[in-house]
Structure 1
Amino acid sequence: MTYVLLVLFGGLSGMTTVLFGFGGGFVVVPVLYGVLKSGAEGGLAEQAAMHVAVATSTCVMIVNAALSTRRSARAGTLLTVWLWPLSGFIGVGSLLGALAAGDVSGTVLRVAFVVYLAITIADCLFRRGFIVPMTDGKPRSPHRWGTGSGGIVIGAIATFLGVGGSVMTVPLLRRRGLSMTQATAMANPLSLPVALVGTAVYMLAGDPGATGLGAGYVGYVDLIAFAVLTVGAWFGMWLAARWVGRIPDQRHARVYIGLLVLVLLSMLVR
């Protein structure tokens, strides 16, 4: 039953990756955290469960983001002016965030995840420019803050929480005049530095003896959960591809916020 659940939510993560630019962290972290905490053999302690959930979701993100980026590149929805040097600064921030995450408790990670979600939802709802774009449809070029210190902040927070950074890059791109289809497509290649750097650090976090997790793990990454989630994600991305570009822009933005609210509620009730 656990594997069926992971396949289903892996599929959901694949769909949200394609349609909304997120799915690895915001879908996988709450589900995998719950599964690990309530395992058949007593489950993992809270600290270990949250670290494994974040690390494994970051690993799943590599596959999701890479496949979705390939699809977007073929469709011509990627704007190369935004990819570099922003992705480079995100990669630097990712290293800092992954290193910091290993030094805090699972409880702190969970609280940070919830607070981050709440702030993001409020920002999208109450600050102009997300639901209704403020521009005339012509995207504005990235500014210096967005490609420098802003990229480092995005990478650090995203890797620390295992969420890929899309929940920061999508609002950022949206307020620069991009449509939801463009913004969500761009979120995936910008999530790749987070996924690659974060996974490498979490895998090197320690051997099974050091982490106390046993066989089936590389550092904090649960290999079986990764494989099952990835299979589901591939199928979900295949299903979602037919809807890309067909959702009205403002409805797309509202559904994006609604999904964030559902994830926030799922974390609050655990």
Structure 2
Amino acid sequence: MDLLFLGLVGVATGVTTVLFGFGGGFVTVPVIMWVDADLGESAAAVAVATSSVVMVVNAGVATSATRRVVLRHLLGAKHLCALLAVGGAVGALLAGWAPAPLIHWGFVAYLGATLADVVLRPGFLRQSASEVPTGEGLPIRSSLGVPIGALASFLGVGGSVMTVPLLRRGGMPMAVATPLANPLTFAISLPALVVFLLASPDPPGAGTVGLIDLRSAMVLLVTAIPVIVLLRRRPPPVGDTVHAAAYVGLLLLMTIVAMGAGLR
């Protein structure tokens, strides 16, 4: 039953990677917490580490299939990507030492804060066509790279929960903001993955490599990658306002799931 459940979640992460730029991170963290609950205090760290594998692969596949006209916005963002990577490594190191409740409830708190932000502040759910930038570049300051990367890898959210709202408020439509979140997630998750591979859970779990639940990661990836490839080739026609509203709805759903995992 665990494998079937993980397979269904893998399909869901494939969909969220393409439609919302999530890479699977904040979807997989509460699920892995449920699956690996027998690890006790290590469950939260293992969930964050396992999500880094899913995010690296999913974000890499999604980025490779993204239109070049969209990826052109990354020109000039080398400093931002480098600082995101530094932050990703720092956050992963901290996650290996942090107590499980801090990671778990920090995850819940961040999703809740993001949910409130995108609903209550103007500029996310609705956007006028005149606000959409026509040039290249990203509306995210390089100085935010380290804090975004560190918080993302520490909580396992991959960065998209932070970068999509920032890109959106910078004037980008969801059809541009969400695919751009994938390469930014990759920049954060790759160094974090290296750190997690060198760590070890206490107590050690069966089938773990470093802090990574290898079995769960493989099931999630095998079911997610075909979905990513299919949806990148044939993206569903979704209006910008509906797309933004669906992003908010998914945030709400995963906040509830994560809270439930913590009360288990």
Whether TM exceeds 0.5 here: the answer is: yes
Q: Distance in 2 between matches of 1:84 and 1:14?
A: 27
Give the equivalent residue in structure 2 for 1:220: 211
Q: Distance in 2 between matches of 1:214 and 1:112?
A: 24
Q: Give the secondary-structure state (helix, strand or coil) at the position aligned to 1:164.
A: coil
Q: Distance in 2 between matches of 1:217 and 1:269?
A: 24
Of 190, 193, 198, 2:187 maps to: 193
Give the equivalent residue in structure 2 for 1:238: 229
Contact 2:39 2:203 in 1 (8 A): no
Q: Give the secondary-structure state (helix, strand or coil) at the position aligned to 2:224.
A: helix
Deviating more after overlay: 233-242 vs 119-128: 233-242
Q: Distance in 1 between matches of 2:119 and 2:234?
A: 24
Q: Distance in 1 between matches of 2:138 and 2:180?
A: 13
Q: Give the secondary-structure state (helix, strand or coil) at the position aligned to 1:195.
A: helix
- Deviation of 1:253 after TM superposition, in Å, equals 0.4
Give the equivalent residue in structure 2 for 1:124: 118
Give the equivalent residue in structure 2 for 1:12: 12
The number of residue pairs the alignment matches comes to 258
Contact 2:80 2:143 in 1 (8 A): no
- Deviation of 1:102 after TM superposition, in Å, equals 1.4
Q: Distance in 2 between matches of 1:175 and 1:134?
A: 11
Contact 2:50 2:211 in 1 (8 A): yes
Q: Distance in 1 between matches of 2:145 and 2:157?
A: 15
* 1:175/1:243 CA distance change after superposition, 3 Å: farther
Give the equivalent residue in structure 1 for 2:53: 59
Q: Distance in 1 between matches of 2:58 and 2:191?
A: 15
Q: Distance in 2 between matches of 1:252 and 1:82?
A: 27
Q: How does 1:39-50 map to 2 (within 5 A)?
A: 43-45=38-40, 47-50=41-44
Matched, 1:162 2:156: yes
Q: Gapped runs of 5+ residues in structure 2?
A: none
Contact 2:23 2:182 in 1 (8 A): no
Give the equivalent residue in structure 2 for 1:77: 70
Q: Give the secondary-structure state (helix, strand or coil) at the position aligned to 2:47.
A: helix
Q: Distance in 2 between matches of 1:237 and 1:4?
A: 19
Q: Give the secondary-structure state (helix, strand or coil) at the position aligned to 2:75.
A: helix
- Deviation of 1:147 after TM superposition, in Å, equals 3.1
Contact 2:11 2:224 in 1 (8 A): yes
Corresponding letter in the other structure for 1:35? V
Contact 2:65 2:229 in 1 (8 A): no
Q: Distance in 1 between matches of 2:76 and 2:242?
A: 25
Q: Distance in 1 between matches of 2:143 and 2:70?
A: 26
Of 235, 255, 259, 1:264 maps to: 255
Corresponding letter in the other structure for 2:240? D
- Deviation of 1:215 after TM superposition, in Å, equals 4.6
Query: What is the root-mean-square deviation in Å for CA atoms of aligned residues?
Result: 1.8
Identity of aligned residues (%): 43
Corresponding letter in the other structure for 1:268? M
Of 232, 242, 264, 1:251 maps to: 242
